[in-house]
Structure 1
């Protein structure tokens, strides 16, 4: 996370900002006044799409345009960006207006995703493309590594889990709402996913029931034995 060191430079994720105001602007939501991060967000969105597209092109030499487009969409969707932002604890660093602070804006996917894109732009403007790309790729490497096989790209976790079970003529999973909490503007859901064969139980959390089900299915997929179809 950002911190000051002995030269008064602002350091973020290993990058020492020559212009610390860029980082401050990237972390400022429009509800807090100007200068805010919307212009940086616009640039960061384009940079992120380029960085991810380049990586998919290099890593998947046999993939066609459609597969790479679906994979990129999977990686740069709002919920994925928000999860990266949470690993960086951006929510605690955001500058929000009183209304957004009161309604928990620092936890909202859209605000976190926008801030992450703005920071990407700030890194680019301050340090150049190579420095920006290196940092962004470190953030997204776990997501890149977790992409499903090429033929399954674009299919969500529930679909992939269902297809795995159907291919082996096994019972379909059962999803159960385990917990629902939070206020109307900040709901949180916890869902359990249970498989009869193989016997697997998993849980997932999300800001919607559907999102929690997808997370639970992803967790179940990670536990599946890698055995061939009968």
Structure 2
């Protein structure tokens, strides 16, 4: 896909809204996305078809239901990076305000800043704190790009979780990568390692989702686990 084609796909506000909503890592129905973006189902279907044809979204069908999701980690990284890119104000324009326009929006934004998912890994202050702890404890090294150390692999084994078999291999997902956090303006951990940490935190109820969005809440069990395993105190 050419850069111009990709830019055209994301230039429409409705399609951009669909992609950012899908950063929660889950599959949504076309109807759910239509309601989220405030458009008619027929309009949503047309936009989704373009995003699927362009390779940014993938489609799953179960019976009469149509589910769509981001096509994979690369698509998620692209959307997250573009969403966090600071754009200067044009002539006569005021810079966009970071202050939300309503109490509901302010509450959502505050919760997402504390802890959220970025596709399938942890983000927000929680994600950045986990990255800092992983570096401080030697689980991840970052001299010539982020790498998972032998200590990190042993730590995962002690935790009882495994990386996907193809992680780090040709054509597979990177074992670990950094991802710029759009609220913290610092990096959190992505890649297969970041995804495993996030899935473990959700499966073991260390974190739980707040409502239907991307925001997470650290549970009392999670607070103890993060402190004991990584020395993270939020």
> TM (normalized to structure 2)?
0.24
> TM (normalized to structure 1)?
0.25
**Whose helix fraction is larger, Structure 1's or Structure 2's?**
1
Larger radius of gyration: 1
